[in-house]
């Protein structure tokens, strides 16, 4: 059956009705420097559709109250909506139980929660933590802080020139001191889709748990944490057409139950005396204080919106955009693409010969084209690539081939300025 956003026949796969989808995103109608906005910075933050805005407005105008404990109408309504969003996220990632879904402020907090709640209990002097050269700083710095505190060691999985992890090298890193693997599902800088299911299986064969940073995977791929068999999975709402300030940490219930809470305060306790505190069951144990109620409800609405379209349909559309963009940027003289993995999400990092990426971004902005420039919070990866920074175009399901054409025309204009 077609969704309201797709069309197909019995012999053809569903095709997105992108024009109809774009009508849900009023921000895409903006002009910048007198040019139509071409938004290609989705790996940083995606845009929010009207149904999510409408859900946030409904909450703020007719449901807003603090959640849990109170018995009045507004609090009960807000509590039901907040917990319904948790169930929506449970289904989105196929977690076993809703209590395995912890609301956080985003991927960064989710990783830090594991660092403090699991890492401090289980990492000791001389232990080793495996990361990869592709990691975002959010999946490097917290582990470095823990390693410094505990006297542990960071080991790094290398990659080839295409941006693909070297699995033989990965497997060779395991030894009796290995305690954890923390790996990004999709590289934010290159778009490489890492073989995390295989990496998880290899780690589990050595008795080592795995955290997956899914910030860049959740917007593009159908997720199934049970199929992946990961121990933890973290992602952010603002990359999923949802609000900022909200994210999810999935964790196996047994691991979460054994962990210490990251933050202390209200709503995460069972009993409190000045002598001792006992903690509430999961997920409440990890959600101290008043949570981002509206943002959680908005994230639930965003996930509902994406699921109505269908994640496989989204992935197919974005792959077509990536293929078209790769072909056309590769044909431009003076353009070097970085990250040519065989399995990629819709991200293109590039450099222009003799032109600083910041200049590229500034001049593209004058053409209405929004891209990200810099090291993309992946400085170790930039050093591996031999560059200080890149320009990055990242696509979403509401982008079009015309957006790619505008990017190509913009690059030509930039090159003319420096000719």
CA 366 to chain centroid? 28
Show the tokens assigned to 164: 């693909």
Q: Give me the sheet containing 335-338, strands edge to edge.
A: 335-338, 347-352, 390-394, 372-374
Contact 392, 361 (CB under 8 A): no
Q: Cα(357)–Cα(339) distance, rounded to whole angstroms? A: 16
Give me the helix-helix angle, 73-93 and 293-309, nearest 10°.
40
CA 207 to chain centroid? 26
Show the tokens assigned to 232: 């933890």
Please confirm, yes or no, whether 377 is among the known catalytic residues: yes
* CA atoms in the 13 A half-sphere facing the CB of 54: 7
Burial (0-12, 13-18, 19+ Cβ within 10 Å), 58: middle
Q: 415's torsion region: left (phi>0), alpha (psi -120 to 50) or beta? A: alpha
Measured distance between the N- and C-terminal CA atoms of the chain, rounded to whole angstroms: 52
- Which residue of the set 230, 241, 307, 377 is catalytic? 377
Q: Cα(60)–Cα(78) distance, rounded to whole angstroms? A: 10
Contact 406, 369 (CB under 8 A): yes
Contact 325, 375 (CB under 8 A): no
Tell me the catalytic residues: 377
């Amino acid at each position: 059956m077609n969704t309201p956003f797709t069309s197909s026949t019995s012999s053809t796969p569903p095709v997105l009705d992108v024009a109809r989808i774009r009508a849900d995103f009023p921000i895409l109608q903006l002009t910048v420097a007198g040019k139509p906005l071409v938004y290609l910075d989705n790996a940083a933050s995606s845009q929010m559709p009207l149904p999510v805005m409408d859900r946030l407005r409904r909450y703020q105008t007719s449901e807003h109250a603090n959640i849990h404990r109170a018995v009045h109408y507004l609090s009960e309504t807000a509590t039901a909506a907040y917990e319904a969003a948790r169930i929506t996220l449970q289904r989105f990632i196929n977690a076993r139980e809703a209590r395995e879904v912890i609301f956080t402020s985003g991927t960064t907090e989710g990783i830090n929660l594991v660092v403090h709640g699991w890492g401090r209990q289980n990492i000791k002097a001389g232990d080793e933590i495996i990361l990869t050269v592709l990691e975002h700083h959010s999946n490097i710095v917290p582990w470095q802080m823990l390693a410094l505190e505990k006297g542990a060691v960071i080991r790094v999985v290398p990659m080839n020139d295409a941006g693909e992890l070297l699995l033989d090298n990965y497997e060779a890193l395991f030894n009796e001191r290995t305690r954890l693997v923390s790996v990004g599902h999709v590289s934010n800088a290159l778009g490489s889709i890492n073989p995390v299911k295989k990496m998880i299986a290899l780690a589990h064969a050595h008795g080592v748990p795995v955290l997956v940073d899914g910030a860049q995977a959740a917007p593009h791929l159908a997720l199934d944490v049970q199929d992946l068999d990961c121990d933890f999975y973290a992602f952010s709402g603002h990359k999923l057409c949802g609000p900022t300030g909200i994210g999810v940490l999935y964790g196996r219930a047994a691991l979460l139950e054994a962990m210490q809470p990251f933050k202390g305060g209200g709503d995460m306790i069972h009993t409190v005396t000045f002598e001792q505190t006992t903690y509430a069951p999961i997920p409440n144990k990890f959600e101290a204080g008043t949570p981002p109620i509206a943002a959680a409800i908005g994230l639930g609405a965003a996930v509902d919106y994406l699921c109505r379209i269908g994640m496989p349909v989204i992935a197919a559309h974005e792959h077509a955009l990536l293929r078209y963009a790769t072909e056309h940027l590769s044909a431009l003289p003076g353009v070097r693409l970085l990250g040519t993995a065989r399995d990629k999400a819709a991200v293109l990092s590039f450099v222009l010969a003799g032109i600083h990426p910041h200049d590229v971004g500034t001049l593209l902005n004058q053409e209405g084209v929004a891209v990200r420039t810099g090291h993309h919070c992946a400085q170790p990866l930039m050093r591996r690539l031999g560059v200080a920074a890149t320009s990055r175009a990242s696509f979403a399901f509401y982008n079009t081939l015309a957006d790619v054409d505008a990017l190509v025309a913009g690059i030509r204009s930039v090159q003319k300025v420096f000719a």
